Amino acid sequence: MPFQKLKPEIKSIIENENLSIDHRLSQVCEILKENIPYYDWVGFYFKNGDKNELKLRSFAGEPTDHIIIPFGKGICGQVAVSNKNFVVPDVKTQNNYIACSINVKAEIVVPLFLNDENIGQIDIDSHTADPFSKEDEEFLEWVNARVAEVLKV
């Protein structure tokens, strides 16, 4: 796993105050997609103001129609309500799944907390069946913690 090798690069991007937050988030998505072979789509969704919905802010991969996701809908919407990581080894087994692409076989969504509030999440789709491990979860929690640090300011 390239996780440990990616950490300094991600930290450097996130801490680069010369770039907008959105630019930094997009770069993080690109780095993850390009360096982890089974990360085929990577995106950050955030709570959309006072609405009970998520809005896509940055991503790397194929464009998606799912810019807005209501709380409770799909894997992302369920994480917005549960505040817990959701790893789906096989998306075909999920009744409440929103298909972004016919190629997606697995998905992982990890909530992003700021001041103990779930304000968003990182969402990763994979064209590989059952690729995600505990190491993926821990790494993505680390990424989200770094992102939360720059959102505080």
* Ordered domains of the chain (ranges, CATH): 3-151 (3.30.450.40)
Burial class (CB in 10 A: 0-12, 13-18, 19+), 5: exposed
Residue 98: predicted pLDDT:
73
Strand-pair category, 106-114 with 53-60: unpaired
Q: What is the dihedral of CA 32, 37, 41, 45, to 10 degrees?
A: -40
Residue 85: predicted pLDDT:
98
Rounded CA separation 54/66 (Å): 10
The H-or-E segment that residue 124 falls in is: strand 117-126
Give yes or no for a contact between 73 and 96, defined as CB atoms under 8 angstroms apart: yes
Of 141, 88, 82, nearest to 110 by C-alpha is 141
* Tens-level pLDDT at each residue, the chain (153 residues): 589 999 999 999 999 999 999 999 999 999 999 999 999 999 999 999 999 999 999 999 999 889 999 999 999 999 999 999 999 999 888 877 776 778 899 999 999 999 999 999 999 999 999 999 999 999 999 999 999 999 875
Beta bridge partners of 32: none
Residue 153: predicted pLDDT:
55
Show Cβ contacts of residue 141 under 8 Å, excluding neighbours closer than 6 positions: 85, 110
Rounded CA separation 45/126 (Å): 17
Residue 78: predicted pLDDT:
95
